[in-house]
Chain A
Amino acid sequence: DTGVSQNPRHKITKRGQNVTFRCDPISEHNRLYWYRQTLGQGPEFLTYFQNEAQLEKSRLLSDRFSAERPKGSFSTLEIQRTEQGDSAMYLCASSFGLLEQYFGPGTRLTVT
Chain B
Amino acid sequence: DQQVKQNSPSLSVQEGRISILNCDYTNSMFDYFLWYKKYPAEGPTFLISISSIKDKNEDGRFTVFLNKSAKHLSLHIVPSQPGDSAVYFCAASAQGAGSYQLTFGKGTKLSVIP
Contact = CB atoms under 8 A, between A and B. Distances in A.
A101 B49 CA distance: 10
Nearest to A55: B100
A98 B95 contact: yes
Interface stretch (B14-22, B69-77, B103-111): B103-111
Interface in B92-107: 95, 99-107
A91 interface: yes
Contacts, number: 55
Interface residues of B, number: 23
A45 B43 contact: no
Given A104-B43, A106-B43, A45 B95 contact: no
A35 B42 CA distance: 14
Contacts of A33: 100-102
B67 interface: no
B49 A45 contact: no
Contact of A103 (B4, B44, B95): B44
A102 interface: yes
B25 interface: no
B64 interface: no
